[in-house]
Amino acid sequence: MGAHKRPARLSKAKAASALTLAAVGVTVLTPGGASKAEAASVSVRALQIAASKQGSPYQWGATGPYSFDCSGLTLYSFKRAGKQLPRTAAAQYNRSHHIPRSARERGDLVFFHSGRGVYHVGIYAGNGKILHAPKTGSVVRYERIWTNSVWYGRVGD
């Protein structure tokens, strides 16, 4: 009877470890998958950093750490996560790996455009929302994407 209990305890311990890892959001790297996992972790980390700046005031030309404009927030967040971005939304679009809407993931950049000109950027937060520094008089916040005139870009791919 004791022999049956020991494997059960071991199984419970392994299951508990797996559940703990899942609960704290640990990324497990698999052979050959390091670059995609690394890119995802950088992007998700950048989103977490941007989220920590919620409520910070918008200020045109500001790159943090206490106030931001749209591209200043993305620049600051990705820099703190370990990736360099150019200063403006248009330059960030040109530097990112362009992806279709169907491939977007949390932490990807969302570029708002008029015609071929990019005028705004935020970080995709999931469920059709972005985290961004919208405009003068506002603060860094989550907001539903309000238009279909957006392009998506991935950093570090």
Is 132 catalytic? The answer is yes
Alpha-carbon distance 125 to 120, whole Å?
A: 16
Angstrom distance (rounded) from CA 3 to CA 152? 56
Give the list of residues 6+ apart from residue 10 with CB closer than 8 angstroms, or none: none
- The answer to whether residue 120 is catalytic is yes
Active-site option among 4, 70, 97, 98 = 70
Q: How far apart are the first and last CA of the chain?
A: 53
Which one of 97, 98, 113, 120 is the catalytic residue? 120
70 as an active site residue: the answer is yes
Distance CA 128, CA 51 (A): 16
- Active-site amino acid positions: 70, 120, 132
